[in-house]
Chain A
Amino acid sequence: MTDKNMNPDNKSRRKFLGATAAVAGAATIAPGVTLLSVAQAKPADQEVSSKNRWGLLIDTSKCATGCKDCVDACFKENSITRTNHPRSEKTDAQWIRKVDLRNKATGHVVSLPMMCQHCEHPPCADVCPTGASFKRADGIVLVDKHICIGCRYCMMACPYKARSFVHEETLTQNENAPRGKGTVESCTLCVHRVDKGGMNPACVDACNANGHKAMVFGDLKDPDSEISKQLKQYSSVAIRADLDLNPGVRYRGI
């Protein structure tokens, strides 16, 4: 992996691992015993806090070419429907997509899901004129559709093409995933499930259910979470690491 954009982003990783050292102490009751559930479940009346940072680790070596269970699960969970418009492949919403890649130099082929990378420094939130694009304290990047005016500047700014504009009226929304014509949307990391505590985003559950187990969801600031352990143990990369956005979604095997 010689390309500068694909290098493991050691600097940022050290940064967020270091910042969580203090939290680690607080969460550990006795050696070996940790209050994992405390970090997971949050009372409904409690604000989300920057003590957590939700992220995903995707192991591309386990992700199967042709499998799109994560995509289907996401669309079902968030009621993202397909239209029969003439250019529907370009106007229909895509919160998550499967991409197959071939390394130009080596010919190595990988398959991976792409979605909002939930950056620490999200360009979409920077450019949004009304503040509708924003990052929650726990690192989840969202669109507040109540104040989104549909200018699409965030879509111009996103390096991952993670955002979609709703091009038509919607009538079949899921009660947990409001979405409507004229506003921009993207992966919410299934925030309604995350807030309930102890739940994975729908894509992760789907990937586990079919036995691929290519996606790990968890708290990047909790050193004892599965995701933090794996990140510490294995090499991983941030896509477009050169932009220094420190995304919450990391990949293994590319």
Chain B
Amino acid sequence: MKYFKNMIAVSLALLVLSSASFAGDRVPSPVIPKATSKAKNGGPEGCVEPVSDMRRNHMKYILHQRDETMHKGIRTSRHSFKRCINCHVVKDKKTGKPVNHKDKRHFCNSCHNYAAVKIDCFDCHASTPKPGPAATSSKLNSSNKLVKKVEDQ
């Protein structure tokens, strides 16, 4: 139900967005930060699924993966939350450090604030990549080759 609501909200936001393009600059639109790299699979735009699909359905993918991982131990990386966080990291220009979910520049906030959809993912989940080399690349952060194989299929 919550996700259905989210979906409506995001669709509305997209509707506003598309009309905004006709209305010029009169309607403020969210500035969505670019991902730090392109995923191999997915649509031409680069995300793990086509961008248009991700905009509408990212919560479905995340929710599905959430239960699969939590209860069944399935840890494919395609729709993993970790991967979202790693690739969609936004860094502070001065310090070069990733901004967390309390910052309005955070990738998720850029649209969720605009659409006024509250999420509670970051009550528990880390909202920035793990410090260290993993943070700068969007490479699969599992060393398990099987993971990669499964994903590339």
In the complex, the answer to whether B82 meets A136 with C-beta atoms within 8 Å is no
From B123, B124, B126, B142, residue with most partner A Cβ within 10 Å: B124
A229 at the binding interface (Cβ < 8 Å): no
B57 at the binding interface (Cβ < 8 Å): no
A145 — which chain B residues lie within 8 A by C-beta?
124
Residues of A at the B interface (CB closer than 8 Å) are 41-48, 134, 136-138, 142, 144-146, 170-171, 173-176, 178-183, 191-192, 195-197
One digit per residue, 1 when the CB lies within 8 angstroms of any chain A CB and 0 when it does not, for chain B 120-145 equals 00011110011000000000001110
Give which listed residue, B74, B77, B126, contacts A173 with CB less than 8 A.
B126
In the complex, the answer to whether A44 meets B150 with C-beta atoms within 8 Å is yes
In the complex, the answer to whether A47 meets B74 with C-beta atoms within 8 Å is yes
Query: Which 9 residue pairs are nearest across A and B when measured between Cβ atoms?
Result: A180-B124, A48-B73, A178-B124, A44-B147, A180-B123, A47-B72, A173-B126, A43-B146, A45-B150
A43 — which chain B residues lie within 8 A by C-beta?
146-147, 150
* Contacts across chains A and B counted by CB atoms under 8 Å: 69
With A45-B150, A174-B130, A175-B82 known as contacts, the answer to whether A195 contacts B73 (CB < 8 A) is yes
In the complex, the answer to whether A136 meets B124 with C-beta atoms within 8 Å is no
Interface size on B, residues (CB 8 A): 24
Nearest A-chain residue to B75, judged by Cβ? A44
B125 — which chain A residues lie within 8 A by C-beta?
173, 175, 178, 180
Determine the distance from Cα of A102 to Cα of B82 in the docked complex, in whole angstroms. 45
Give which listed residue, B70, B75, B124, B126, contacts A142 with CB less than 8 A.
B70
Nearest A-chain residue to B135, judged by Cβ? A175
Give which listed residue, B66, B100, B130, B144, contacts A44 with CB less than 8 A.
B144
In the complex, the answer to whether B100 meets A171 with C-beta atoms within 8 Å is yes
